[in-house]
Amino acid sequence: MGKLARLRRVLREEVYWIRPRIWAMNVMAGLLPVGVGPRLRSRAYRAFGVAIAPSTLIMGPLRFVWYGDIAGNLTIGHRCFISRDVVVDATAKVSIGNGVVMGPEVCFLTATHEIDAPGQRAGALRSAPITIGDGVWIGARVTILPGVTVGPGAILGAAALVTQDVPANVVAVGVPAHVVRALVDGESPSGHRAP
């Protein structure tokens, strides 16, 4: 009986974090090949309660990590374009405004750990929301850390590590991300005015 009870306890611990709803949502959204059915994929996520505007295109399945309330913590606005392999940690709220465009392999991380004693530096779990303003362009492989707000109209250059807030209408690049220039209304990143 002792071995059987121990086996049951271990099995419960191993499957404790299984979330059938998340699995089903991921399977449904992943049935379409990358680049095919971006409106259908968006609709599949909405069917599972995720707040995604119907005009948003999702080119590949989103990768949800950790154990957050995805339906309650993720909102995506109108006219967004989301590329493939985007990772979302919904431990805290992730709010994405209207007209946001993001490249492949963007990562939104809302959870981290307190720094603890030398025996195990990753201490207690803590989380903070991420907010992305309207019209933001997020380049490929950008990672956005907990508590960050990106202002409207900002551009985050490819592979940037965003550790602190980014003001509106600026270009931010690097590791850690830093502002390299301000953008004027109607101006492209290259300095040309839109027609």
Whether 171 is covered by a domain: the verdict is yes
Q: Which residues contact 170 (CB under 8 A, 6 or more apart)?
A: 151, 154, 155, 179, 180, 181, 182, 183
Instruction: Tell me the two tokens of residue 28.
Output: 């449904």
190 assigned to some structural domain: no
- What does the pLDDT look like over 23-58, one tens digit per residue? 788 788 878 888 888 999 999 999 989 999 999 999
Domain for residue 137, yes or no? yes
Residue 13 belongs to a domain: no
**Total tally of structural domains belonging to the chain:** 1
Residue-level pLDDT at 156: 98
What range defines the domain where residue 141 resides? 19-113+122-182
Amino acid at 69: D
Average pLDDT, the chain: 90
86-105 residue pLDDT tens: 999 999 999 999 999 999 99
Distance, in Å, from the CA atom of 40 to the CA atom of 114, rounded to the nearest integer, reads 39
174 assigned to some structural domain: yes
Tens of pLDDT, residue by residue over 130-175, are 999 999 999 999 999 999 999 999 999 999 999 999 999 999 999 9
What's the whole-model pTM score? 0.86
- Helices 20-30 and 38-47, packing angle to 10 deg: 160
Q: What is the CATH number of the domain that holds 33?
A: 2.160.10.10
192 found inside a domain: no
**Of the candidates 173, 140, 139, 135, the residue with the CA atom closest to the CA atom of residue 154:** 135
Q: Is 195's pLDDT higher than 60?
A: no
86 belongs to a structural domain: yes
Positions marked catalytic: 113
| 135 is a domain residue | yes
